[in-house]
Amino acid sequence: MIPRKKTRQVRVGSVPIGGLAPISIQSMTSTYTRDVDATVAQIRCLAEAGCDLVRVAVPEKSDTAALPGILDQSPVPIIADVHYHFERALEAVEAGVHKIRLNPGNIRDRKQVDRVIAACRERGVPIRVGVNEGSVVERADHDRRAAQKAGIQTDPRSELIRLMVQTVEDYMRIFDENNFHDVVLAAKSIDAGYVIDAYRALSERFDLPLHLGVTHAGPPETGRIRSIAALGSLLAMGIGDTIRISYAADPIHEVEDAKELLCSLGLRNRLEPELIACPTCGRIEIDLIKLVAEVRQKLATIKTPVKVAVMGCVVNGPGEAEGADVAVFAGKGRGIIYVQGKQTRTVSEAEMLDALYDETLAFSKRVESGEVVLTGRDVTITPPDPLPRKDGSIPLNVQP
């Protein structure tokens, strides 16, 4: 178990953040919030995928006007994302949202911030103070902006991180003077290294819960590497109380990858099957890539955290699959299926997918009934004895 830094706890509806509460997963709708039906449909999909909190954009009054209809139907707490107009924050709080996000780079007027804090205090609504790399450089004061830009050109990493942390500190003085502490902090950048350094600085400076994320991460193909590099590093240090992995794609992928990250680090219990597969190499005698993709799709119907291994040969497969509840070892045209270390079936390649699914489904039902328990990592799998072919290749020792 990774030791986590204990932070002050806030509650976003029914979801606690900080104070060693489980790390929550967030995402954000890509719909126009004023379209209630489309927004609610996406929120439900995200919640079903495992999202704990959903943020919605409220740039227009028509968006905040739609919030009551969304809140009435949402299965999870809703966060209103406010950037330029403090009135949208007041309207969102009045509508009943569970949390709001303010960007210090965009809403700076002290009187406006005071009014938002007062409204949130009255309703018990926490506030996320979220700065982004792109919004911390001064815009109104040209001399100050020029000085900051010159500093960034000289030492981009140190100066940008300093600006992000200073912006948070300056903004937090307003909250301290209002004696309002139901605050979550964030300092995002597109650069994974900057994100790590910025959040480490915030963690040292404040005891408030931290919302981890990488901004403008891009499509999943590249964004997941950038995001996992930053968020995984911080979580492994015990830093972070809630996370959003953000992609330029269907937000369902954000939730899927965030869950996998937390499960991989032991920070969240897995609730669905875990699929492992050996790397491809010249020993493989079946279409392993296709089989793995098909197995992954089939396993989506099972809601038990069974560990399933798909191995393309018997050389490294048994060792790599130890701890799997259900495993298949494939040879040319054939495969052997194991359940908790015991060989159960020998099947043809054409039967492999359905047989593996059937064995996994049957095993999951036995787990749910209490007949068996998940094995963890202590299963020893004895592979079949290979018999060399005339050409020297190694088949599985199975009967046709």
Q: What is the pLDDT of residues 304-314, one digit of tens each?
A: 999 999 988 76
At 149, give phi and psi (nearest 5°): -65, -40
C-alpha distance across the termini of the chain, in Å:
47
Which uninterrupted H or E stretch holds 299? helix 288-299
pLDDT in tens, 49-95: 999 999 999 999 999 999 999 999 999 999 999 988 999 999 999 99
For the domain that residue 222 is a member of, what is the CATH number? 3.20.20.20
Looking at the structure, do residues 224 and 298 belong to the same domain, yes or no?
A: no
Number of domains in the chain: 2
Q: Is residue 395 part of a domain?
A: no
Looking at the structure, do residues 302 and 253 belong to the same domain, yes or no?
A: no
Query: What single DSSP character describes residue 99?
Result: E
Looking at the structure, do residues 260 and 286 belong to the same domain, yes or no?
A: no
pLDDT score of 190 more than 50: yes
- Summary mean pLDDT of the chain: 88
Evaluate whether 140 touches 111 at the Cβ level (below 8 Å): no
Looking at the structure, do residues 132 and 172 belong to the same domain, yes or no?
A: yes
Q: Is 322 exposed, middle or buried (0-12, 13-18, 19+ CB in 10 A)?
A: middle
Evaluate whether 198 touches 224 at the Cβ level (below 8 Å): no
Looking at the structure, do residues 364 and 280 belong to the same domain, yes or no?
A: yes
More confident residue, 106 or 340: 340
pLDDT score of 374 more than 80: yes
Q: Is residue 386 part of a domain?
A: no
Domain residues for the domain of 61 are 10-264
Q: Is residue 67 part of a domain?
A: yes
What is the spatial distance between Cα 252 and Cα 51, in angstroms, rounded to a whole number? 9
For the domain that residue 287 is a member of, what is the CATH number? 3.30.413.10
Looking at the structure, do residues 232 and 283 belong to the same domain, yes or no?
A: no
Looking at the structure, do residues 214 and 354 belong to the same domain, yes or no?
A: no
Q: Is residue 292 part of a domain?
A: yes
Looking at the structure, do residues 229 and 250 belong to the same domain, yes or no?
A: yes
Q: Is residue 21 part of a domain?
A: yes
Q: How is residue 247 written in tokens?
A: 């992609």
Q: Is residue 327 part of a domain?
A: yes
Q: Is residue 70 part of a domain?
A: yes
pLDDT category of residue 398 using cuts at 50, 70 and 90 = very low
Looking at the structure, do residues 238 and 298 belong to the same domain, yes or no?
A: no
More confident residue, 291 or 79: 79
pLDDT in tens, 314-336: 665 666 667 789 999 888 888 88
Evaluate whether 32 touches 63 at the Cβ level (below 8 Å): yes
Looking at the structure, do residues 48 and 181 belong to the same domain, yes or no?
A: yes
Looking at the structure, do residues 91 and 167 belong to the same domain, yes or no?
A: yes
